[in-house]
Structure 1
Amino acid sequence: MTALTRFPRFFVTSPSACPYLPGRQERKIFTELNGAHAGELNDALGRIGFRRSQSVAYRPSCVGCNACLSVRVITGEFKPNSSQRKLIRRHSDLEVTACRPWATDEQYQLLRRYLATRHPGGGMTMMDESDYADMVEQSPVSTYVIEYREPAELGGELVGACITDQQADGLSMIYSFFAADRPERQGLGNLIIMDHIVRARNASLPYVYLGYWVKGSERMAYKTRYRPMEVLGPNGWSLLDESVAAPVAEKQPAFA
């Protein structure tokens, strides 16, 4: 490894409104991923809670708050419950393909539909085709776009996609989107996660990284459906305690 890889330079963003907990502010620490060892650096940072966005690795660094916790599913021990098995059967006709990280108009149009249905008014709704292409294609590491498509006899429509990094110890789900406006395809978000768990296990990868979980944030509640799950704390990775991950409300989370 080069000295730059061993000792990357880190930067801190200015505080801004927290998108998960009202009344709080967020701040991130980040570094660039570039050069021949970008993959190794991304793997190492991923194990200590960093996430990738294009050629940047970042993690929360908020003053007086550590609510954002990195979580990962233990792929070899995951067993779908009855409702998850039913969901897998419901969508068993979908054709899944791991594609090179190349943006298509079909993917972009699906993203626009997803954002309009699930996150209207959110910051990503302003993304144009060029922004989306950058999100997919500006990756210095091993990245795929996993596509979920209806069979040809039903028209072959793209109904789901996930930008996914393959790390040394698992798959990192960077961003997924799907046809949330298709009631007959309800549950695609959950299906995409379970498919990644199976893919990682088949590849002998022990983890699927789901990003950050925030207790008390309804938007994040779906992540605790996949057990056993590990959470990154001050003393490293440990199993997420059932009582800690108990839902805070009966209302269904937005991600389904």
Structure 2
Amino acid sequence: MLELARGANARSIFVVGIGRDVGKTTTLRAIYDAACAGSLSVGLASCGIASSRKPQLWLKPETVFVTARDALPRTPAVEILRLSPLPTAGGRLLYARVAAAGKYELAGPPTASGVSEVVDDLCELSEMVIIDGAVDRVAALAGAKGAIVVACGAAAAKTMPEAVDEISSLVARLSIPPYDPAEPAIQVDGALTASSAAALIAARERRQIVVRDPTQIAFSGKAGSRALERLRVRCHRPLRVIAATIASTAPERTFEPRAFARAVADATGLPTFDVYASARAA
């Protein structure tokens, strides 16, 4: 995944998922370990739901990370680089560099504009930035030199086909092509909702339907995928999805790993990795 991002000249990698407990943190850790093994300086942050507690990560010396003031240990072995005015539920954000390896919690701002600011700051402090992300904050990378990895897992769906449908729909939304100013278009202010998409389909609209960025597409699942197939949805600020990962096991169910990986790869057209097996699976 790291090599795919570098091949796309990406300075940052945003890891998002189709739901909770689908392997996002494991995916981030795999990319981080690969970057460290390649002697890259790394910057890390998170921008998940503000009320949820993030798992701690074992960070190596020289890693730069963003956390909340209240999330630091009482005697952290870090160098505080700067304080940010951006607030979080755990206090002000700060940037730190690891002096001695240890476990630390990542944090980040609650808005897409704040995430964009954090990514820019980390790009100044490191060679590769990795963000534990959320789909509604991924607009921070729109139009920028960033790449997206999408995590899919058994915890987010009752059946394998449902999980595959969810990631296929999400990847389709995030991969909306750029707007062509030479062709007729309808500009959408705000979100493109399921009801407005249905009305456009009923009217047999053939012009480009243009949103600001892919996060403005407010529908998902099979119905969302069908709408995207029938409309020419485009955006001003495109995103780049480079890979998918799978987590085939959850407390409630298990999917056969190889079949799951193949199904995800076939549905998305993306290189697909089983991060728990530490290998590209499809």
TM-score tier by shorter-chain length is: under 0.3
Provide the TM-score with structure 1 as the length reference.
0.26
Provide the TM-score with structure 2 as the length reference.
0.25
